[in-house]
Amino acid sequence: MTARQLLRLLAVWLGVLFVCVVAISYSVRVDRALPPSGLYLVSVWERGTRTARSVVASAPKEVLVDQSARRGAQRIIEQLVDSAPIMGGSWLLLGLSVVPARDGVSVSYRGRTAYATPEDLRKLEAYEFSFVLGPLNLVLGIDVNKVLGALAQELGSEPRELLQHGSFRRFAVASDADYPRKIGEADVTRDSIEDSVRSAARYLARNQRRDGSFRYELNAVTGADSPDYNFPRHSGATYFLARAGNQLHDPQLARAGQRAGSFLKDRVTLRCGEHACIGEGDQVDIGSSALALLAYVELLAGGNEEFRAPALELAAFLRSQQRPDGEFKHFYSIAERRALDIQVEYYAGEAAFALSRVHRVSGDAKDLRAASHALSFLVTRSRWFLGSHYFWGAEHWTCQALADLWQRAPDRSALEFCLDWQAVNRNLQFQSPPAPAEYDGGITRGPFVPPRLTPTAARLEAAVATLEVARAAGVSPSELELIDHQIKRSFAFLMRYQFSPGPTHLMPKPRLLEGGFPGSALDLHVRIDYPQHAGGALLRYWELQPK
Listed ranges 15-23, 257-265, 270-278, 313-321: which one lies at the site for other proteins (CB under 8 A): 15-23
385 binding other proteins? (CB under 8 A) = no
Q: Please tell me whether residue 342 binds other proteins under the rule CB under 8 A.
A: no
Tell me which of 8, 11, 29, 267 binds other proteins, using CB under 8 A. 29
Which residue from 321, 331, 419 is spatially nearest to 373, judged by alpha carbons?
Answer: 321
Nearest to 450 by CA among 460, 464, 437, 461: 437
| Residue number with CB closer to other proteins (96 or 294) | 96
Question: Binder to other proteins among 111, 134, 303, 387 (CB under 8 A)?
Answer: 134
- Applying CB under 8 A, which of residues 8, 11, 15, 21 lies at the interface with other proteins? 21
- Tell me the β-bridge partners of 277: 270
- Would you say 174 and 36 are in contact if contact means Cβ atoms under 8 Å apart? yes
Q: Which is nearer to other proteins, 98 or 470 (CB)?
A: 98
Q: Which long-range contacts (CB under 8 A, 24 or more apart) does 306-312 make?
A: 306/265, 307/261, 307/265, 308/361, 310/265, 310/269, 310/276, 311/358, 311/361, 311/362, 312/358, 312/362, 312/364
96, 242, 277, 538: which one binds other proteins (CB under 8 A): 96
Q: Which of 25, 130, 382, 476 binds other proteins (CB under 8 A)?
A: 25
Taking alpha carbons only, the member of 445, 541, 528, 540 closest to residue 257 is 528
Give the residues across from 272 on adjacent strands.
Answer: 275
Terminal CA-CA length for the chain:
78
Among 11, 20, 342, 424, indicate the residue that binds other proteins (CB under 8 A): 20
Query: Is 130 a binder of other proteins (CB under 8 A)?
Result: no
What's the min distance (Å) between Cβ of 438 and other proteins?
14
Alpha helix (H) residue ranges in 210-285: 231-247, 251-267
Residue 32 interacts with other proteins (CB under 8 A): yes or no: yes
Q: Output the smallest distance, CB 365 to other proteins, in A.
A: 47
The least distance separating other proteins from the CB of residue 308, rounded to whole angstroms, comes to: 50
β-strands 103-109, 112-116 pairing: antiparallel
Using an 8 Å Cβ cutoff, are 214 and 243 in contact? Answer: no
35, 59, 130, 135: which one contacts other proteins (CB under 8 A)?
135
Least CB distance to other proteins at residue 528 (A): 33
- Please choose, out of 93-101, 231-239, 287-295, 461-469, the segment that lies near other proteins by the rule CB under 8 A: 93-101
Instruction: Tell which one of 3, 57, 59, 386 touches other proteins (CB under 8 A).
Output: 3
Is residue 424 within the footprint of other proteins (CB under 8 A)?
A: no
- Is residue 90 near other proteins by the rule CB under 8 A? no
Nearest CA to 122 among 535, 506, 470?
A: 506
Q: Binding of other proteins at residue 26 (CB under 8 A)? A: yes
The nearest distance, CB 521 to other proteins, in angstroms, is 15
Nearer to other proteins, 10 or 472 (CB): 10
Residue 384 in contact with other proteins, rule: CB under 8 A: no
Name the one range near other proteins by CB under 8 A: 21-29, 198-206, 209-217, 309-317.
21-29
- Candidates 57, 59, 133, 386: give the one binding other proteins (CB under 8 A): 133
Tell me which of 281, 303, 363, 447 binds other proteins, using CB under 8 A.
Answer: 447
DSSP code at position 307: G
**Rounded-to-integer distance, Cα 353 and Cα 294, Å:** 8
Start-end of H helices in 28-177: 65-69, 91-96, 118-124, 144-155, 159-165
Rounded to the nearest whole angstrom, what is the least distance from the CB of residue 7 to other proteins in the complex?
Answer: 9
How far apart are alpha carbons 370 and 358 in whole angstroms?
Answer: 11
Residue 534: phi, psi to the nearest 5?
-65, -50
Contact 323, 317 (CB under 8 A): no
Among positions 8, 13, 251, 342, the unique one binding other proteins when judged by CB under 8 A: 13
User: Residue 421's closest CA among 450, 445, 443?
Assistant: 443
CA distance 92 to 188: 41
- Choose, by CB under 8 A, the member of 65, 325, 385, 448 that binds other proteins: 448
CB under 8 A: which stretch of 26-34, 45-53, 106-114, 251-259 binds other proteins? 26-34
Q: What is the dihedral of CA 96, 456, 237, 417, to 10 degrees?
A: 130
Q: Which of 28, 340, 361, 475 binds other proteins (CB under 8 A)?
A: 28
Size of the site for other proteins (CB under 8 A): 34
d(CA 229, CA 238): 14
How far apart are the C-alpha atoms of 144 and 148, rounded to whole Å? 6
Phi, psi of 371 (to 5 degrees): -65, -45
Secondary structure, 3-state, 173-208: EEECCCCCCCCCHHHCCHHHHHHHHHHHHHHHHHCE
Which of 434, 474, 477, 546: binder of other proteins (CB under 8 A)?
434
Binding mask 282-311 for other proteins (x = CB under 8 A): ------------------------------
> Interface with other proteins by CB under 8 A: which residues?
1-3, 6, 10, 13, 17, 20-22, 24-30, 32, 84, 96-99, 133-136, 141, 433-435, 446-448
